Amino acid sequence: MASTSTTFQRWTAHITPYLLYLITIVTLGPLQFGFHLAELNAPEAVIRCIDQPSLLTALLLPACIPMTSGQFSVVSSIYTVGGLLGALTSGSLTTKYGRVLPMRLGTLFFIVGPILSSLAPSIPVIALGRFISGVGAGAAIVVVPIYISEISPRESKGLFGALTQITINVGILASQVLGYFLSYGNMWRVVLGVAGGIALLQGLGLVGVCESPDWLATMGKTGKAERTLERIRGGDTQDEVGKWGTAQEGQDEYDSLLHGEENNQSASPTKHSSEASIGILKVIVHPDHYCAIIAVIGVMLAQQLCGINSVIMYSVSFLRDLLPTTAGIITIGVGALNLVMTIACAPLSDRLGRKTCLLISIAGMGSMSLTLGFALLFGVQILAAVATLLIVASFAVGLGPIPFILANELVGPEAVGATQSLALSANWIATFLVAQFFPILNEALDQGRVFFLFAGLAVVFFAFVLLWVPETRGKKDADEVWGRDRRED
């Protein structure tokens, strides 16, 4: 009991109202990512005119947009193409200009995209809206996990890092619930437009969001970084600022600020600032980073290729034949369970370790994909429903939250932007493959056999994590994670 109390006090020691404000505002980005990811799942039949549409129109817009299965796959998957573009471009932006600017720019895409999608009269317009929303989502999923990791107390990085996946799940659940109740007439347009209001709220909230102290320190602004960190922590921060340089370096930078920008520019940079411009190509070939690149990209691929988005994006369609009256309700259950399990499992990565949680998660998803394949093949309704829910529960244990925090723990701050961009680019490509080809493979293989493929991939990724990915829990920096001697040059 005393141990539990001590652990709780350690986790909450540096949690302030301002820290909670920062995390609340920035995680609206991942929330919108999840919302857009799942927004077409429940209302698919209405949007495509499969269900009898209402004869009424609103604002001279059609009640539905006729689409084939292939065209709908393109509309769904083009969101991930935009996400790939956002992920590729945001890494360099966040390295050069900080974490806040890319988040502010992302809100513009999050506003314009839903406007186009919700008012779309045709396939090209709804696809364009989805693409633009994807750009904002790609940027958010790169920048927000970095920012959260850099402002979170070391003892709680895993807990707060899980908030990225938690808010993604909130977005997924919100879109599934809205889709279930508004899948008629023109009301599906409301589902597609709601995210624009969330983006507007985030844009206003970002006005009060400060820059990342780690990024400021990396750019040589250690005095400003320390003052920013003190504002976030609400107290003494000496234990955390040690990694930025000596106290004298911080004082020199503070003095330079007092005497003007000219002196500030001539101030000696910290050790990290000399490496602040490391880009994607340099990160790939850098001897200190290429192992981390392989590890992070591999885990990101595992997150998608173990099959989670086949459930998030298409559960209504693959369960409709077997469970025609309850597929929509099960989909809401999927979203709710995903959220509850992610919240419940959030502390696990800080207690069991990142690697252990990943292995448990992959093993669970693989075994449940195999079970779901057999359940759909032999028409066992209850088993199909349970397996679908357990795939989501297994995902929440590790593959959901952990990939988003690994980049910041496996490389130094000078390379985290490029690493996160590479990792999220791989993630978006894998998401595109699932979004575009799952309906095609499911139709070609018939009766759930595609889930045997996901089970096989889970075996491969289990071996990869076991043999390649190091444990990062409790490690001070990337040098300690990889067992390197800290270099001072």
Per-residue pLDDT tens for 131-146? 999 999 999 988 998 8
User: Is residue 84 within 8 Å of residue 66, measured between CB atoms?
Assistant: no
Q: What angle do CA 180, 182, 183 make, to 5 degrees?
A: 75
Query: Which are the contacts of 439, defined by CB distance < 8 A and separation ≥ 6?
Result: 69, 72, 73, 314, 317
List the single range of 249-258, 348-357, 422-431 with lowest mean pLDDT.
249-258
Instruction: Please give the model's pTM, rounded to 2 decimal places.
Output: 0.77
User: Is residue 127 within 8 Å of residue 74, measured between CB atoms?
Assistant: yes
Per-residue pLDDT tens for 368-423? 999 999 998 898 888 988 999 999 999 989 998 888 788 778 887 778 778 877 88
Q: Does 436 have pLDDT greater than 50?
A: yes
User: What is the predicted pLDDT for the residue at 263?
Assistant: 40
Buried b (16+ CB within 10 A) or exposed e, 305-343: bbbbbbbbbbbbbbbbebbeeebbebbbbbbbbbbbbbb
Distance CA 269, CA 218 (A): 8
Backbone angles phi, psi at 404, to 5 degrees: -75, -15
Across residues 47-59, what is the average pLDDT?
A: 65
Per-residue pLDDT tens for 229-262? 888 887 766 666 666 654 334 444 334 433 444 4
Per-residue pLDDT tens for 92-108? 888 889 999 999 999 99
Query: Which are the contacts of 49, defined by CB distance < 8 A and separation ≥ 6?
Result: 64, 65, 66, 67
